[in-house]
Structure 1
Amino acid sequence: MSSLVRDVLGSLREPEFWAYSTWLDIVTKYRRSRLGLVWLLIPPLIYVLGVGYYFAKLQGLSPLEFIPHLGVGYLLFRFLMTIITESSLVLPANSSFILDGHARLTDFVFRVVAKGLFYLSVAAPVLIVALLVSPRLELWGLAISLPALVVLILNAMWMGIAIALLGARFPDIHELMTSVFIFGFILTPILWSASAAPPGTVHGVFMRINPLYHLIELVRAPLLGESLETTTLFYVAGLTIVGLAMTAYLYRRYARFVPLWM
């Protein structure tokens, strides 16, 4: 894993390229708008509170209990979707840097990760308010949810690196990932509860083979005082180990070919 580890550590030691440039991209995008960066807060505000209230009433649930469930699920799903879908285009989009000799490809994937983290941070106040007024919030769950969030980010990073390599070789990967996430949103308990898909049912099986469900549930369940299935713990552990090993192999084997694919 020396090749991947070396580049990841190099990117972490030199965040000027990926962190600062991402911040500049976001600022320049909204600088002509009257509301500016406030626009980043409006979509999660409408979705978490508006859609959360609507679907809570639709299912006969208490909005104060359902909105945090939807809010955590939606924000984490959007974070994963942003990283994976945009990583499929990030290397071709930065081909000028790569062809000019910028060989550390992790810098470009880290730009996407930084963008996802920034959007997640901006939306966090909406979620914090929803959690504070909810009777489901378990403060002890923070001791589990915060390390679980680190595990989720780690998985998002290896997924982003792997998808970036595949996207550089196969341009259709972006369209495939977009379609997969449309289907994945339906299979992930965000607008509905995981209890609606019990083990042993067909829809329960489909939900439990979905990695997005397990990654989101690992963070959300302790925070809302829900018990984690043992399957989720083993699933995430296996996904992390196998995913890192696979990505390390792909990076060591194929990263040097990216300039040729460009």
Structure 2
Amino acid sequence: MQQSSSEQLRADVARMTGATAGHQVPASRSKTFTAAFADLVRGFGQYELWLQLGWQDIKQRYRRSTLGPFWITIATGVMAVALGFLYALLFQMEWREFLPHVTVGFIVWGFISGCIKDGANVFIENEGLIKQLPSALSVHVYRLVWRQFLFFLHNIIIWVVMVPLLGIPLTWEVVLALPALLLLILNGVWVAMFFGMVATRFRDVAPLLEALVQLAFYVTPIVWTTRTLEAQGGEVAAQARIVEINPLFHYLEIVRAPLLGNHVELYHWLIVLACTVVGIIITLIAMRQWRFRVSYWV
């Protein structure tokens, strides 16, 4: 009898980790930062495993689809164009300028929100693999971030098409989008790891994050711009500065601005770097205390 997809998946994992199903290598219970960091290093070293699992997630999702993963691109493009024209009309802005702003915002936001929302369920959804097969806990996080990155690559095709069609001015600063994207990926790892552990222990966290991410979408300048508010002057212009309290705005800006041919102010980078360092430290503390308990919580 042919193996089911889940059985085949476990067989692939066992082969790549050099172990057999049902034989779990005991996790280190050392409550040290070194052990927590070692889990991240070990998981990254098992790149063949999470690269294949992430790619398999994409293929399974669009298994019998004609267009396959490009449905992601189509859905994102249609939504971005529709909202771009709508809000350009409402805000009385030039659509050729506003449409790329919304589109790139949607693409970057898709990666950010995916790491947060899917990260909350990353260990719960991999319960079988965690309990039955040996691998670093971080493997499941790398798998998730890799999958979200593949979604991003599919969606960035929309921007590539828009550059010549809308005449988006590209400068040398477009290369800054690469280190910005690497920062997003790095943050995606600690976000998925931290919220994954917390949401596994406290199951109410996942739906709460879902609601908060939805709220964050509206308070982050994706389908609107700070210049729209500043142009109105008075108290409205002053309130436009409040948006900078939202750290997601800065993560969005360091990627979107270079892709639209705009200059990125230094303080955006500094805020993102500070949030990254703080987030990694908090995650390492959480891993030191909780990582070996995840298998009991799932």
Post-superposition CA distance 1:67-108 (Å, at most 9, x none): 211111111111111111011111111112222253511111
Name the aligned partner's letter for residue 49 of structure 1: V
For residues 4 and 65 of structure 1, the distance between their equivalents in structure 2, rounded to whole angstroms, comes to 46
* Corresponding residue number in structure 1 for 2:9: none
| Structure 1 counterpart of 2:142, from 110, 113, 124 | 110
Aligned with 1:133: secondary structure? helix
Deviates more, 1:103-112 or 1:157-166: 103-112
Q: TM-score, normalised by structure 1?
A: 0.91
Post-superposition CA distance 1:9-41 (Å, at most 9, x none): 322222232221222222122222343333222
> C-alpha displacement at 1:3, in angstroms?
2.9
Whether the 8 Å contact between 1:67 and 1:130 is mirrored in structure 2 is no
* Corresponding residue number in structure 1 for 2:38: 6
* Corresponding residue number in structure 1 for 2:124: 92
For residues 56 and 153 of structure 1, the distance between their equivalents in structure 2, rounded to whole angstroms, comes to 31
- Structure 1: 5+ residue stretches without partners: none
**Residue 183 (1) aligns with residue 254 (2):** no
| Structure 2 counterpart of 1:204, from 215, 231, 241 | 241
**Residue 251 (1) aligns with residue 292 (2):** no
TM alignment of 1:191-230, pairs within 5 A: 191-198=223-230, 201-205=238-242, 207-230=243-266
Post-superposition CA distance 1:24-72 (Å, at most 9, x none): 2221222223433332221112023332233223322222211211111
> C-alpha displacement at 1:170, in angstroms?
0.8
Of Structure 1 and Structure 2, the greater helix share is in 1
Deviates more, 1:87-96 or 1:27-36: 27-36
Q: How many residues align?
A: 261
Name the aligned partner's letter for residue 158 of structure 1: W
* Corresponding residue number in structure 1 for 2:201: 169
Whether the 8 Å contact between 1:197 and 1:203 is mirrored in structure 2 is yes
For residues 277 and 244 of structure 2, the distance between their equivalents in structure 1, rounded to whole angstroms, comes to 18
> C-alpha displacement at 1:155, in angstroms?
1.3
> C-alpha displacement at 1:149, in angstroms?
1.4
For residues 169 and 89 of structure 2, the distance between their equivalents in structure 1, rounded to whole angstroms, comes to 20
Whether the 8 Å contact between 2:109 and 2:252 is mirrored in structure 1 is yes
Say if 1:225 and 1:121 are closer, same or farther in 2 by CA, change over 3 A: closer
Deviates more, 1:115-124 or 1:217-226: 217-226
For residues 9 and 163 of structure 1, the distance between their equivalents in structure 2, rounded to whole angstroms, comes to 19
* Corresponding residue number in structure 1 for 2:112: 80
For residues 203 and 3 of structure 1, the distance between their equivalents in structure 2, rounded to whole angstroms, comes to 44
Name the aligned partner's letter for residue 247 of structure 2: P
For residues 188 and 247 of structure 2, the distance between their equivalents in structure 1, rounded to whole angstroms, comes to 11
Q: TM-score, normalised by structure 2?
A: 0.80
The ranges of structure 1 where at least 4 consecutive aligned residues each deviate by more than 6 angstroms after the TM superposition are none
For residues 41 and 101 of structure 1, the distance between their equivalents in structure 2, rounded to whole angstroms, comes to 34
Percent of aligned pairs sharing the same letter: 28
> C-alpha displacement at 1:115, in angstroms?
1.3
